[in-house]
Every structure is written in structure tokens, then in C-alpha cells.
Structure 1
Amino acid sequence: MKRKQRMIEIDNVSFQYDDAFEQLSNVSLTVYEGECVVVTGPSGSGKTTLTRMVNGLIPNHYEGRLTGSVRLREQDVSGMAAWDFGRLVGSVFQDSRSQFFAAVVEEEIAFSGENYGMDPAEIRARVDRLAAESQLTALLKQEVHRLSSGEKQKVAVASACLADPELFVMDEPSANLDMAATRQLADRLAALKRSGKTILIAEHRLYYLLPLADRIVYMQDGEIQAEWTPAQLTALAPEEWRRLGLRSPVVRAPSVPAFGGTRAQERLALDRAAIAPGRLKPAVLEDIRFSVGQGEIAAIVGPNGAGKTTLAKTICGLLKERAGTVAMDAQPLKAKDRLRRTWFVLQDSDYQLFSDSVLNELLLTHEREEDAAERAESLLRELDLWAFRDRHPASLSGGQKQRLTFAVGLMNRPELLVLDEPTSGLDGRNMRRVVKLIRQMADTGVTILVITHDYELLFGACDRLLFFQGHRLQADLEITERNGDAVLRLMETLEPIE
């Protein structure tokens, strides 16, 4: 039997970013040719830093103090030029925007092939094939910046595959994908593995990877602390998953009742509303009619690109409705009036962070409130961010930034709070913290809309599910034990319930 070659060898590596605490401490890991290895663990545990060691971003882009050695196919990466990594490694980053070079989808997918001088006819054929496999064919002429977050992630994966590298390194590739798109990603990864590719994935969502993972490596505090096969991981008790800060590795509807029930006094109502992303753009949602009560938590669900974020921006007054009315407390309001009574926590957290420290981010515009410092400390402690209070927000991990923008939203105490994928980059422990705070906020009378693909968040926090597809509101379901299986089936298939 032929012995498998070592594709990745990380030997006793420690790394510290400039002016930061040590991110990796004496890490050793070997990944063999054709393996799929999943790296998981709490936010800030060093997963992303580990992937950067392998795809060359450290030290070619991120500088710091590095000890130990990293080898790819027995070649020390310290002797590799930056462009050599692109031939060997296909990368998908947590924030897909940071890896785009071209303005149009087909040009972005083709970029690596053009960069390495591939034959134009071969590039064209590969772009068409990858677009078809990723359900991107209809978007090839679209501008990348106009895509939804999930669509951008699909483009990033297709781009990584174009040059046909031997090794794929991915950092939370499912973070912005709905469950149906995540299953498609799993199928794509399975095909890559069958073709002999090696895959290293840092990920919080584990359920879709267990059928193809050879090993799951658990990191905490910059160290590898455990390693399991998929069977060993699923054999752990749920209490152990929670203790380790992991998300559930199996998908199932909860066996306990959720929160659906009698609706409170109406807080928000849309009547025959048409929603568009701009004055000259076609409507993405039409004839929308629904209402949400005071203190109610409603999940906004639908496939990537269905118009969920555009709807949320319109409700908050960041966009004007094309037709119909948006009312609060039975009073139709113009967009500018809704702005004063709502708060929108964006999915892209970098767009909402302005201050020079984590603590000051929460205190911004609240300096004259007597209880501001006390409330800010309480929120930061609840979200496990108090230890970072003096850090600049830009220095936080993706999951930490996500929790910080959520805390800013809670700090403002609006009448209506809209959260766009608030748990997209969070581990299990912090996801459950966010669930707890959402419920506490609703108990004070705040109405909350949550755009989410996260079934654990939906079942843990939400009262109702509003499902949008094909320009319409297709389903309005209470989230109860009786409806649990139907809700989960809708989340997994994104097909209206008959």
C-alpha cells in the first residue's frame, strides 16, 4: 500500500502578531495528502492564524514574531515566494470581500488562471463549469459588490477552485450561507476530496463536514487541546459540546417548546409594501404584508439574494419603500422618522465600528447617560468582551467584532432592533450568549427582527419565522414544538411549506 505523503507539517509553531498577545503556542499538526481536517474551537482560539500559516498570509501579509516551522509538501514556507502559494493553495477567507480583485463575477473567478498564464479557452471552460456547479451562471455578469454575502462566498469558493490547486484552506466558508447552500458546499468539498485534494477548514458549523472529515482538531487559547474522529465527536454528550463552546454537530429540531404564542400589541406592520435596493433598481419584494408585536422576535429567512437585508434596511428607514406603507404603533411613518426609532446591526461589522477601543465603542453617543458605563460593562461581560475593553476594535477576531456590534445595538435600546446574521461568525458558547441577550432584550418590550440562516439561533430565540422567496412572503410560522420539524425542513430546503 502506497504511503500517503505529508501535505502540511506544522512543527512546534508559536506566533504573535505585532503589539498583540501570543495567538499560537507550540502548535504541531500534520495533514496528509487527500485528508480533510477540520479545525474548530472558540472564537479567538487561533484557528484563523493557523490557516494563515498554511496559505502564506503569515508572514507575507501579516507580520509578527514566528518560531517553529511550516512545510508544504516538505518545502519550508520560509523559502517560498508569495506567488508560489497561489499555485499550491486555494484559499477562501472568512470575509470574502478581502480576497476579491475584480469587479465582475466571471472576471473574479477567472483571475487566478489569468494570473498564472493559463490558456484563455481553458479558463473560459473552467469558469462556466464552476459557475454551473455553484449555481452562479445567472450572476456571471453581475458586479461582485452587488451580490449578497452568501453569493459572494460562493464566488470565493469558485475562484479558489479555478487554478485546480492541490490544497484548499478555508476559514469558515459556511458563515454566510443558508443551510441549502451549505449542503451544496459540502457536496463541492466532497467532490474535491474524491479527486484527491487536501482540505484544511477552520469552522464553527460542524454538521455539514462530518460526512467528509477525517479528523476534527479542537483549539483553545492558541493550543491544540483535543482531536476526534467524526464518530468520537458525535459520541460526546451535548453537555460536553456546550462545555467546549462548540455548536451541535448534528441537526435536529428541539424537543422542548420554543416561544411562539399569543401576539402582543402590534409594534410593526407592513401593508402592500414593495421593497427595492435603490430608486432605479427593480423591486426585490412586492405586496409584502405582515405585522410583529411588541417584544416579539421574528426570524427573517430565505435563500441568499431573496431581499432580506434590503427589507431590513427599508424597515429601519435606511431605504424608502417603493410602494405601500410601513407603520409603527399603528402610525404609518416615513423612512426618516423610522430611523429615530430603530437600530440595524449590520452583518459586516467593520462598517459599524468607529471608536478607538472596545469600551468606547459602546459609550459613543452615550457619554451623558448616568448609567452608560455600568450598562456597557454589563454587556461586555455578558458577551465575554470585557477583557478586550481597551483593545482597538480592528484588532478583534471576526466573531469578537460580531459580538461587539451586537452589544452596540443593545446599548442603544431602540423600539425596534434588526439583527443581520448576528451569529454568523460565532462559536457555540457565544451563539448561546447572543440568544440569551436577545431574549432579555425582548422581555423589556423591544421588538426584534433577526435575519438568519442559523437554525440554532432560530430555535433558541425566535417566536416566528417569516420566509421570503420569489419576491413574496411565502410562509409565516410560529416556532413551537408542534411546528419544529416543519420549520427545520424549511430551513434545510428553502422550499415553501405546502
Structure 2
Amino acid sequence: MGIQTIIELNNVSFQYNDSYEQLSGVDLTVAEGECVVITGPSGSGKTTLTRMLNGLIPNFYEGNLTGSVKLKGRDIHEIEPWSFGRTSGSVFQDSRSQFFTSVVADEIAFSGENYGLDPALILERVTELAEEFRITGLLSRGLHRLSSGEKQKTAFASARLTDPELFVMDEPSANLDMAATRELAGMLSALKARGKTIVIAEHRLYYLLPLADRIIYMAGGQITAEWTRAGLLALTSGQLDAYGLRSPVVPEGVDNFTVRQAEDQGRGSRQQHQEHITVQHANIAPGRFKPAVLEDLSFALNRGEIAALTGPNGAGKTTLARTLCGLLKEREGLIRINGQPCKPNQRLRKMWFVMQDSDYQLFSDSVLNELLMTHEDEPGATGRAERLLKELDLWEYREHHPASLSGGQKQRLTFAVGLMNRPDMIILDEPTSGLDGRNMRRVVKLIWEMAESGVTVLVITHDYELVCGACDRLLLLDNGKLQVDMAVTPATVPEVIRLMQAGK
């Protein structure tokens, strides 16, 4: 028996209601057992394409769909909405949006219960999947208490429970540290070995290269290029930049970063050795009555310094960020600004926190108004907003509602809002998750400019390209402690990458 086709798209176009066209004349065929990676700039239509493969289009997202979309030979209009999950397992970029329950074990079991599987089988599968994803200790925990990476693992385990033939994933590594991403690659490899079909929309290509049969490139709602693994590896650095792609391999040396650091002429001068933020013997907890996740924490950041805060998922990075900016109160110890003890309500006025979940920080009715909010009477505010939107490739969307943007576009918008507020210190939580290579480099440039103006920057990230290309220091948290505090220089780049890959 020959290889069967599981996905067929013929001349497919789609436009969301009251929005611009997302797909235009797309043709794509995927065979059973293939692993196809879809990449391309933010807003190019990758997420829209995945939504057709799991039934969200046309059953949830309304719009004008033309052309033919078939799964296993059946037109998607003929498939009952409830039955898509038997064929297609989904992992969304924002895992919160696919949760139906409040506890990890219940969430993993939900699809099995929904399809009436035997309770004993469901329990067995939940136990197996929790062990495979290393989340057994989280089964009784509330989903709202998980880190972003832990939520992503829970979502993947839930998609696995009914053992569908097709897995559709949208940026599954966006919130994972490098060690967890390596685990994800191993799980995907095991799925492929079992003959499962995998379609992944992704910007981070390095972990998928050994698995990918084809790499599809989208731009402007169309498929404009296609490569095999060898073809992608054959692209020059100039061609990768032109396509806006990230590096398909993790470099062993410093060549990919040395030039960028050398071009940053102010890198040395911006470190003025003027101590700005000091943390002394602090115990940090995610809530008043919750146990501390970080203990006896001490470090200092100089004015105009760019520091990367990294470590395994769940290490306490975001909790530390919320404490620094005054959203949480330190359990013990002192936090000083310019040498003076600074209470949480005082820190709130001096720092700006760009959250990873961008939806929490978007309130206005248009992209431009989002930047101008609270700045309406400020001289030159409109000009500054225009410059930021152009630098972050968002100007053409200035009249669009923020909710209509892609995940990567929302991420850049919240970053621009932070810059508009000209804070004394800015904390960026995964500012490049969901960003293509071109926009990642735009963010790096703006971070440099902020530091040059004297703003202290703390970047929470698992993105080795961002750390090596933009940051002065690496702070690595693990097991409740600050385990590493080292300078990021061309000489230390290999060690930085090794530490981030090890996850400790």
C-alpha cells in the first residue's frame, strides 16, 4: 500500500471577518508520517493555516474561506466540529487558550473523557504521559500556578491522550528553555517514528532540523519557498537575513555573535559601573502565603546594563521580575535603587514590566492608540509612537485593533508600549518568543538604544541568540538560588550556550 495523503489544500484563501486577508491561494499536500515545518515572518499566515487543520477554521474563527481543505480525503466542512480531535491533536502558541479545566491531571484526561474512553485507560494514559513529560509532580497542581513552560507541556500531554494521527503545533518551543526544547524534540522524534504526521509553525528551527522532511516558508499569506533540510542548511547568512530566518543550527563558536557585538560601539561605554538596582539577601515568593521560590538572593545591576535572566522553566524568573517592579513584596531582604531602600509601591513608579502574556497589557482600540494612551498631551508623543511602530514593523497595522494581531506582533506592540513610558528600568519577559529572525534583530537594536540612554534592562529569556547578541551579563537561576553570574563576551559565548542548553 502506497503512502497516503493526510492534508490537501488547493487554492485556499481566507479572510477573517472585518480583517485583512490572511491566506491567499495556498496549495499544500502533506503525506502521512511527514514532519513539515512552517516558518516565515510574524503575521504571514502560519497560525491561520494551522487553524484549518484542527477545525478552528471555519468552526470557531469566522471569515471567508475559499478553495478546498481536506483531511484524510474529507472536506473540513463535512467533518463534525467535535470529531476533529480524534484526527488532529493541537498545541497552541498560547496554551492557556486551549485549557478547559483547572487542574493538570484533569486537563490531560479531558479529551479522553470527552470521547468516552474507558476511565481505567484514561488514568493509565495520564500516568504514562505525565512520566514522559516529567510533570508527575504537577498532576494535582492548578493550571494557573504553572510556569509558561509547564503549561506548554501540559497542553502537549493533553493532545497526546487520544493518540491522534496528526499533530498540529503553533510555536511549541516559544516558552520552553533549551533543555526542555531538546526534550520536546525527542518526543516529536518518537511520534514520527510511530508514523504520526506533524505540522509545526515555528521560528526556532535548530531543534526541528533533524526531524523536518520539508521546511515551508510563508510570507504575505502565501507559500513562497520550500526547502529540504540540506537546502535550508545551504542558505548563506545573508540569505537567512533576507528571509528573516533564525539560524537553523546552534553554533559551537562565536562567529555568529562577534560581529554584532563589535558593531555595538557603545557596549563598553554604557557600563558606567554606577550601581543602579541592588538585591540583598532577598527571599522571593509568588504570593503572601506561598513558599519562597528563591532564597538569599543577592546581585546588582549597573545603570545602562543589559542582563539576561535565564534558567529552567519554573525556576522563579517571572516571580523575581514581578517582585523587582513592585507587583509582589519581597519576603525578606532589601531591594535598593540608587543605593536607597525602595518599597514595592515606589518601585512601581520607576520600572516597567513587559509581560510575556501580551494580552494582559493591551487595552486600547488601535495599535497607535495603545502607544498614545496616557501620553495624549505629551509634546512629540505621536512622532515617538510613529518611530517605534516603524522600527518594530508595526506601522502598517496602526489602525488595527490589537486583538487582531498575531502573537509575535502583540509581543512587539507591548515592547513598544514599554519604550513609550521611558522607564528608569525595564524588565522584558521573553521579548523574542514568537518572533522571526528579522524582528528578533529589531528588538536587539532597540534594547541597545535603551541601554545607551541609561535605562537598565533585565531580559527574561531562553533565547540564546538574544542573550549572545545583546546582553552584557548572564544570571542563571536554578534550585532556588542564583547559580551563575557571568559576563557575556565573545570569549564566554560557548559557555553561555552550554549552560543554557544544559538547563542548569
How far apart are the structure 2 equivalents of 1:417 and 1:236?
Answer: 36
Q: Which residue of 2 aligns with 1:406?
A: 415
Q: How does 1:48-63 map to 2 (within 5 A)?
A: 48-63=47-62
- Counterpart AA for 1:23: Q
Q: Which residue of 1 aligns with 2:264?
A: none
5+ residue gaps, structure 1, are none
- Counterpart AA for 1:130: L
Deviation at 1:481, TM superposition (A): 1.1
Q: How does 1:217-296 map to 2 (within 5 A)?
A: 217-252=216-251, 253-255=253-255, 256=258, 258=261, 259=267, 264-296=273-305
Instruction: Tell me the percent identity.
Output: 67
SS at match of 1:66: strand
Q: Which residue of 1 aligns with 2:393?
A: 384
Q: What do the CA deviations read for 1:194-222 (whole angstroms, capped 9, x no partner)?
A: 00100011111100001011000000000
Tell me whether 250-259 or 210-219 shows the greater mean CA deviation.
250-259
CA contact under 8 A between 1:260 and 1:464: conserved in structure 2?
A: no
Deviation at 1:105, TM superposition (A): 0.2
Deviation at 1:342, TM superposition (A): 0.5
Deviation at 1:302, TM superposition (A): 0.6
How far apart are the structure 1 equivalents of 2:104 and 2:342?
Answer: 38
SS at match of 2:396: helix
SS at match of 2:41: coil
Q: Which residue of 1 aligns with 2:78?
A: 79
Q: What do the CA deviations read for 1:369-405 (whole angstroms, capped 9, x no partner)?
A: 1011111000000000000111110111110000000
Say yes or no: does 1:317 pair with 2:326.
Answer: yes
Q: Which residue of 1 aligns with 2:475?
A: 466
CA contact under 8 A between 2:272 and 2:304: conserved in structure 1?
A: no
Q: What do the CA deviations read for 1:422-475 (whole angstroms, capped 9, x no partner)?
A: 010111110000000000000000000000000111111100000000110001
SS at match of 1:204: coil
Say yes or no: does 1:369 pair with 2:378.
Answer: yes
Deviation at 1:362, TM superposition (A): 0.4
Q: What do the CA deviations read for 1:279-330 (whole angstroms, capped 9, x no partner)?
A: 1000000100000000000000010000000000000011000000000001
How far apart are the structure 2 equivalents of 1:264 and 1:180?
Answer: 33
How far apart are the structure 2 equivalents of 1:275 and 1:22?
Answer: 46
Say yes or no: does 1:33 pair with 2:42.
Answer: no
- Counterpart AA for 2:482: L
Q: Which residue of 1 aligns with 2:316?
A: 307
Deviation at 1:260, TM superposition (A): 7.1
Q: Which residue of 1 aligns with 2:456?
A: 447
Q: Which residue of 1 aligns with 2:125?
A: 126
CA contact under 8 A between 1:6 and 1:31: conserved in structure 2?
A: yes
SS at match of 1:114: helix
CA contact under 8 A between 1:346 and 1:420: conserved in structure 2?
A: yes
Q: Which one of the candidate residues 479, 482, 499 is aligned to 1:490?
A: 499
TM-score with structure 2 setting the length: 0.97
Say yes or no: does 1:205 pair with 2:214.
Answer: no
Q: Which residue of 2 aligns with 1:417?
A: 426
CA contact under 8 A between 1:260 and 1:479: conserved in structure 2?
A: no
How far apart are the structure 1 equivalents of 2:254 and 2:51?
Answer: 37
Deviation at 1:19, TM superposition (A): 1.1
Q: Which residue of 2 aligns with 1:92?
A: 91
Q: What do the CA deviations read for 1:112-137 (whole angstroms, capped 9, x no partner)?
A: 00111111111111111111111100
SS at match of 2:318: helix
TM-score with structure 1 setting the length: 0.98
Q: Which residue of 2 aligns with 1:338?
A: 347
How far apart are the structure 1 equivalents of 2:503 and 2:96?
Answer: 25
Deviation at 1:263, TM superposition (A): 5.4
How far apart are the structure 1 equivalents of 2:15 and 2:90?
Answer: 22
Q: What do the CA deviations read for 1:15-39 (whole angstroms, capped 9, x no partner)?
A: 1111111110110000000000000
Say yes or no: does 1:352 pair with 2:361.
Answer: yes
Deviation at 1:74, TM superposition (A): 0.7
How far apart are the structure 1 equivalents of 2:272 and 2:450?
Answer: 17
SS at match of 2:356: coil
How far apart are the structure 1 equivalents of 2:327 and 2:175?
Answer: 22
How far apart are the structure 1 equivalents of 2:444 and 2:242?
Answer: 16
Deviation at 1:84, TM superposition (A): 1.3
Instruction: Calculate the aligned-residue CA RMSD, in Å.
Output: 1.0
Residues 260, 6 of structure 1: CA spacing in aligned structure 2 closer, same or farther, 3 A cutoff?
farther
How far apart are the structure 2 equivalents of 1:179 and 1:352?
Answer: 27
Q: Which residue of 2 aligns with 1:184?
A: 183
Q: How does 1:95-106 map to 2 (within 5 A)?
A: 95-106=94-105
How far apart are the structure 2 equivalents of 1:84 and 1:315?
Answer: 47
5+ residue gaps, structure 2, are 262-266
Q: What do the CA deviations read for 1:230-259 (whole angstroms, capped 9, x no partner)?
A: 111011001101100111111115331745
Q: Which residue of 2 aligns with 1:68?
A: 67
SS at match of 1:159: helix
CA contact under 8 A between 1:301 and 1:308: conserved in structure 2?
A: yes
How far apart are the structure 2 equivalents of 1:86 and 1:134?
Answer: 20
CA contact under 8 A between 1:260 and 1:463: conserved in structure 2?
A: no
SS at match of 2:403: helix
SS at match of 2:85: helix
Deviation at 1:264, TM superposition (A): 2.0
CA contact under 8 A between 2:10 and 2:68: conserved in structure 1?
A: yes
How far apart are the structure 2 equivalents of 1:288 and 1:114?
Answer: 44
How far apart are the structure 1 equivalents of 2:441 and 2:121?
Answer: 47
CA contact under 8 A between 1:264 and 1:295: conserved in structure 2?
A: no
Tell me whether 22-31 or 263-272 shows the greater mean CA deviation.
263-272
How far apart are the structure 1 equivalents of 2:503 and 2:307?
Answer: 17
